[in-house]
Structure 1
């Protein structure tokens, strides 16, 4: 053994811990803020609680913060343990609301201080108000999340649409997120509403479920009962790539839906035709799943350039490709409309729009649904779910 080899053997290279350490520090900082700010409002600040109350409150917040990442990984990791996921998701929603309103409570604290109200009365008033507002919002948000989505109606004028398709009714479902909470009954209710709208086309723009087909089969089963005059079409969302995307594509096909896996079909009525195209989610390529990637060229290959195009794409951000390919209307989901205020503003950092109809470029319009279901925390606060009824109008 050479001298260099001896030195190397005695001093083996250290493993690079930079990325892992950095991620751990970020998680720790987020947990410290999410749980620490409400702890300060409810336990510390100037409340001057008796020692036993202070100790119990501190222990409660510390235990919740310590358990949260383990519950989240157990629930949403490879094993998809639904019990852990339900606890973690609910805790996330509760602590987010407490965090937000604890911060907003500082405005009340300042106002009381200016009015001459001293501690502990000032802090206890703030604590009571933050608790009351949070409880009301969480109860209301839970009811909003669990109810069958309301129908949101919108007319979209497409200048290139033929007269025979004027009034075409497109129902958009998206982000159903069948998950740890069994929503089979909710799923049947959604399908009943969809069928009552007598749609010509029903589109699902992804994030069907959190979990494998085998886990969510019962919740997704009512999708097989959806009725549409011309077509039922589907594209993948980013969450499919956490839970067996290809199996979901195949399962939707078994339920009678056309999976627009970077391809298109043409629907015709009264002599007028419309291209229904779809692309995989923009995260598909990163999943490593063979054949899955966002490909507008493949989706529109061989399409008549004179026909209008309705494109299914999970994320609003994919509208850039739609504009480049002359798409008339893209329909998307993904944003959930923010789901729990004020998460709305964080969503806008990643997506061009939050919800509703918007125009991009000279030809392309984009309709973004707030989502039919919810992800994770079973709450919707200032972001109601929707079943979108889009009526196409000829120019």
Structure 2
């Protein structure tokens, strides 16, 4: 009961911080539409204002209404409503972005002189936002395979040239269903991985039947094992429920544990519950069978505490969480928040870190910053520093 209350309070704080900005964005779109598409007749203008206000209010609050419905009743209608309300959020953000470009052009004409065709600017903004949103939806549901090489100084002979497939932030739930997961599993299996690692947010955190994902997950094939560490959305779903479901699969869940496979340590750090803080390096040190001198792959959901983890002697750290901002221009924010470790492969000395932008999406089923991705890592023996020379995407 206490945990539920704490979860509600946390959600309320986030709501109070985000909601004013969300409303302000809708207001900005509202006044932009009225400016770029003027109506000369007062009666006509008032009708349009009222219609826009009512439509905007319905669409704006739909994400909250659909979320409440989807958490209470898992059915086809609520899932579709949840999806469409998420689409609106993404489209509204893109519309605001394109209208901003329109306002910049109007301002430039005001400074340098001239008379812009504002109706054409407005129409271009709407069409541009629509096409950009379609592009974002396609990106969110058509993952690419990103291929990278990672060198590990003391990599055992049995792992040289072997492939580890890394996925993160799938967000299975009301939007990403079992059909999507089956296609992803087929794609992963076609890569013939030696190991598969999942770095959290496998589930979205919405209520509903998550047992539908058991069969597709059991279809994953990897000769040396499938390893999982939890993320923050598993906390929202319920960590006990998460591990109960995954216990019905062949996935090895690493809860502050190590699995030694042919001389390579797979270390999984469990995402802390609620507001609990965790020192990842200290947590790893406390694991009885951790060997600092042995090569290791760390699964930790967030690309944080990187300096301490590197000093611990970890060979390769795999993370997710950031979505690379998911929608433009939020990628600039994640880069600042995560000190440049928000996406991609970074190397320093004998340490490498790869942060995936994820395989699913959250909030809005769109991706305009980066394509959803499956990461294929080929392990090599040698110094970690250096540039990746392989083709990265297909």
What TM-score bracket applies, with the shorter chain setting the length? 0.7 to 0.9
Structure 1 CA distance for aligned equivalents of residues 204 and 16 of structure 2? 27
Pick aligned residue for 2:26 from 35, 42, 53: 35
Residues in 1 aligned to 2:16 and 2:236: alpha-carbon distance in whole angstroms: 24
Distance change in 2, residues 1:20/1:325 (3 Å): closer
Once the two structures are TM-superposed, the CA of residue 152 in structure 1 deviates from its matched residue by 0.5
Q: Distance in 2 between matches of 1:224 and 1:321?
A: 35
1:140 equivalent in structure 2: 135
Distance 2:18 2:291 in 1: 50
Shift of 1:350: 2.5
Moved more, 94-103 or 226-235: 94-103
Whole-angstrom distance in 2 between the partners of 1:293 and 1:394: 29
Q: Distance in 1 between matches of 2:244 and 2:286?
A: 18
Higher RCO structure (Cα 8 Å, ≥6 apart):
2
Partner Cα separation in structure 2 for residue 197 and residue 122 of structure 1:
52
Normalising to structure 2: TM-score of the pair?
0.83
Q: Which residue is 2:386 aligned to?
A: none
Q: How does 1:254-293 map to 2 (within 5 A)?
A: 254-268=248-262, 273-281=263-271, 283-284=272-273, 286=275
Larger Rg: 1
* Aligned partner of residue 74 in structure 1, secondary structure: helix
Indicate the residue corresponding to 1:191 in structure 2: 185
Instruction: Tell me which residue corresponds to 2:322.
Output: 335
Q: Where do 1:57-68 residues align within 5 Å?
A: 57-65=52-60, 67-68=61-62
Q: Which runs of 5+ in 2 are unaligned?
A: 1-9, 383-394
Q: CA RMSD in A?
A: 2.9
For residues 272-330 of structure 1, the C-alpha deviation after alignment (integer angstroms, 9 at most, x for no partner) is x111111012x435279xxx995633674322332111101111114344224221110
Give the superposition deviation at 1:263.
Answer: 0.5
1: CA distance, partners of 2:363 / 2:247: 26
For residue 166 of structure 1, the aligned residue among 157, 160, 169 is: 160
Corresponding residue of 1:106: 103
| Structure 1 residue aligned with 2:7 | none
d(CA) in 1 for partners of 2:23, 2:176: 31
Do the aligned partners of 2:214 and 2:248 also contact (CA within 8 Å) in 1?
A: no
Deviates more, 1:250-259 or 1:166-175: 250-259
1:60 CA displacement: 2.1
> Which range moves more in the overlay, 193-202 or 90-99?
90-99
Contact 1:105-1:126 within 8 A present in 2 as well: yes
Q: Which among 335, 338, 348 is matched to residue 335 of structure 2? A: 348
Report what 2:219 is aligned to: 225
* CA spacing shift, 1:218–1:319, aligned 2, 3 Å: same
Q: Is the 8 A contact 2:193 2:223 kept in 1?
A: yes
TM alignment of 1:46-57, pairs within 5 A: 47-48=38-39, 50-51=44-45, 52-57=47-52
Aligned equivalent of 1:204: 198
Other structure's SS at 1:215 match = coil
Distance 1:62 1:248, change over 3 A: closer
Alignment match of 1:311 (pick from 280, 298, 310) = 298
For 1:235 and 1:99, locate their aligned partners in 2 and report how far apart those are by CA, in whole Å: 37
Match of 2:345 among 339, 349, 357: 357
Q: How many Å apart are 1:76 and its aligned residue?
A: 6.8
* Partner-residue secondary structure (3-state), 2:336: coil
Gapped regions of structure 1 (runs ≥ 5)? 1-18
SS in 1 for 2:209: helix
Q: Assess if the C-alpha contact under 8 Å between 1:296 and 1:321 holds in 2.
A: no
Q: What is the aligned partner in structure 2 of residue 375 from structure 1?
A: 362
- CA distance in structure 2 between the partners assigned to 1:157 and 1:68 by the alignment: 48
Partner of 1:244: 238
Q: Distance in 2 between matches of 1:224 and 1:22?
A: 38
Residue deviations 1:141-193 (CA, integer Å, cap 9, x gap): 1122122x111000011112133321121001111101212532221111111
Secondary structure of the corresponding residue to residue 203 of structure 2: coil
